Structure 1
Amino acid sequence: MAGPKHAADGAAIPVLYEDNHVLVVEKPVNMPTQEDSSRDPDLLSVLKEDLKRRHHKPGNVFLGLVHRLDRPVGGVMVFAKTSKAASRLSDSVRTRTFDKTYAAVVRGRPKEPQGSLRHWLLKDTRTNTVSVVKPGKDGAKEALLDYRVLGSAEGLSLVLVKLHTGRPHQIRVQLAAIGCPLYGDQRYGAGANEPGQQLALWSARLSFPHPTQRETLTFRSSPPERHPWFLWQELVRNLPEQINE
């Protein structure tokens, strides 16, 4: 379901769906999800201002952050417009009825065309980096994902990733751990990537139970048709058809 593009603070944010309870948008690449030390315009603040302007609301506007995307990552995101919706969507995340599928371009090609990855990840809050550690290490959390290779070209592979857990930097760290760092990832693939390359990770599908209605909402988004995505132009253009329900 598509909607108009609203502009706020000079940033055009595609709105995919909106009702009284949820707001689903397509996050631009290189935009922080929420305010950070860079002080650059962030998605949450821009959307709040946009809601305030469009609905002529005085004072502060409530908009709940349900999940996050790393700054370089674009694609589908959902926000809660009420505290009840925020609570129920958070429950969906916790109970894993909140389904997320990503498209990624990685260096090399995984040994198996499809499979599951299970690692234990530990975050260093001082450096904001995540590493793979042995199971049972204090503070480590289990990370699970499934992947499927859609195609390979020029030493790169287009991969679909379905998350079962939502750990920080999870996709980037787990794929790097099997020798396939993401294209453009300077943090977990610095040896394979060049400075200035755009991280090739995209939130391609989001599915979740509506917080007040008895239905599941599903939204899809295709990555931009530019390098390295255009190496698989037809696959990228028709990516929603490649994603299983």
Structure 2
Amino acid sequence: MELKILHEDPHLIVCVKPPKIPSQPDPTGDLDMLTILEGHLKKNYPNVKKPYLGLVHRLDRPVGGIMVFAKTKEANAFLSKQLQDKTFVKKYLSVVTGNPEGDSGELRDYLIKLPRVNMSKVVDKDIKGAKEGVLEYKVLGRVVDQEYGTLTLMEILLKTGRHHQIRVQLSNRGWGIWGDNKYNNLFIKKQGWSQIALWSYQLQFIHPKRKKLVTFENYPDVYPFSLFI
């Protein structure tokens, strides 16, 4: 796999995770981003016996896009605190089958994880274990597709980090993500595999050393995102 690094310095690495690659080791044993980057550090810094690499955040395995990894414990703690304080900005692009109401809005739902089927669902806030999920969205474009009808390109600002949050909240409104065979009814029974149209395209945070705001972006150029270029 060709590693795409957007930025690297002594404190962090910003790279693009391809779809279908796990963020970290999982029971499948498939090659993951953490292991790939550890190999990168060992190759490029042979004099460092045990290079540090910290997983700051995760992306679901089917989802592609930008991730940041810490190269020091101090950087990891600094970035993780921004996640906790909700000052770490994560924006996604998604193509959905449907026509969202208006051109922008906020979604608030209570979600519960279903470990047995590796899914989540929207529930009443009084359900034991339910956690609030919040996101904001903007509509960036709409096209009409012969097979799926209206397709809408959305920018998603994730305010909380719940399991499958974007996929669950959008599908609950009838805006299932294109290619999502877990939550979009148009794809659940579809034969063959399709790549989910959800991409982490922007990260914004305070740099752990320079203490200045930095922004990194990466745009997908594959179908169905290519319909909106």
**TM-score under structure 1 length normalisation:** 0.87
Map of 2:227 onto structure 1: 231
Q: SS at 1:192's partner residue?
A: helix
Partners of 1:188 and 1:59 in 2: CA distance = 45
Partners of 1:180 and 1:37 in 2: CA distance = 31
Task: Give unmatched runs, 5+ long, in structure 1.
Answer: 1-10, 234-245
Map of 2:217 onto structure 1: 220
Residue 118 of structure 2 corresponds to residue 121 of structure 1: no
Map of 1:210 onto structure 2: 207
Pairing partner for 1:174 from 159, 169, 184: 169
Displacement after TM superposition at 1:213 (Å): 2.1
Q: SS at 1:174's partner residue?
A: helix
Partners of 2:179 and 2:70 in 1: CA distance = 31
Pairing partner for 1:187 from 179, 182, 192: 182
How many residue pairs end up in the alignment? Answer: 221
Displacement after TM superposition at 1:156 (Å): 1.0
Displacement after TM superposition at 1:158 (Å): 0.6
Letter in 2 for 1:81: K
Q: CA RMSD in A?
A: 1.2
Partners of 1:133 and 1:62 in 2: CA distance = 40
Matches within 5 A, 1:42-191: 42-57=32-47, 59-153=49-143, 154=145, 155-189=150-184, 191=185
Displacement after TM superposition at 1:40 (Å): 1.3
| Higher relative contact order, chain-length normalized (CA < 8 Å, sep 6+) | 2
Residue 17 of structure 2 corresponds to residue 17 of structure 1: no
Displacement after TM superposition at 1:60 (Å): 3.5
Displacement after TM superposition at 1:136 (Å): 2.9
Partners of 2:33 and 2:51 in 1: CA distance = 14
Deviation readout 1:175-217 (Å, 9 max, x if unpaired): 001001100001111x211341110000111001111222011
Partners of 2:47 and 2:6 in 1: CA distance = 22
C-alpha contact 1:13 1:28 (8 A) present in aligned 2: no
**For the structure 1 residues 47 and 114, does the alpha-carbon distance in structure 2 shift closer, same or farther, using more than 3 Å as the test?**
same
C-alpha contact 1:64 1:83 (8 A) present in aligned 2: yes
The list of structure 1 runs, each at least 4 consecutive aligned residues, that deviate by more than 2 angstroms after superposition, is: 57-61
C-alpha contact 1:104 1:202 (8 A) present in aligned 2: yes
Map of 1:197 onto structure 2: 194
